Amino acid sequence: MQEREEESRKVSQKLLTAGERQGGRPKDLAWVSERRRMAYIRLVMKGWTAEEIACKLAKPGTRHYRRIRRQVLWAIGTSSELQALAAAETRGNIIGNAGDISDALVRRAKRGRTDSIKLGLAIAEIHSDRVSHEHSGELEIKITGMSRPPRVGESGSDPEPVVDADVVEE
């Protein structure tokens, strides 16, 4: 715990003295220095949350606190290596606890929770709402392995043409 507090003091000192004071409120937050962004990423990789980092650098609830928290979240969102680590950790956690997760899902589905039922069917690859099933209305049937039936009528000649009958009106 002391190591974490000491690390936090060092990082906060570096962050507070790094670079000039930034003015304005850019919409894309691209103005955060690379040095500061890397410091945020290192702290997040050590297990710190955006709130913990902002709390160490500013008083909670202040404008400065919200700005730092937003900067940390932006740094997390733009770091591909951090996102890859988070995705791998999440996949590992889900796979490691697959038995408990599936049991809980089945219990909820048995109670009639439609969201759990749909999720269970999607996981089992039985049905998915995201796959669109479009039908054109046309039907094509091919019969293989059968010979054509013999023609009805005289063999070798054309059958008699069908003549329309007169319609009797009443």
Q: Is-contact 11 44, C-beta < 8 A? A: no
- For residue 63, CA distances in Å to 59, 127, 137 come to 9, 48, 61
- For residue 146, CA distances in Å to 143, 149, 152, 156 come to 7, 9, 18, 22
Helical segments of the chain, H only: 2-17, 34-45, 50-57, 63-78, 80-96, 98-110, 114-123
Percentage, residues of the chain above pLDDT 90: 12
The tens digit of pLDDT for each residue in 20-32 reads: 344 444 444 556 7
What is the model's pTM?
0.43
- Which amino acid is located at 119 in the chain? L
Q: Tokens representing 115?
A: 């969201």
The tens digit of pLDDT for each residue in 55-88 reads: 999 999 999 899 899 989 888 888 888 888 888 9
pLDDT category at 4 given cuts 50, 70, 90 is low
Q: What is the pLDDT of residue 52?
A: 94
Question: Which residue's entry shows tokens 């589905």?
Answer: 109
Query: Would the pLDDT of 141 be above 90?
Result: no
- Averaged confidence pLDDT in the chain: 78
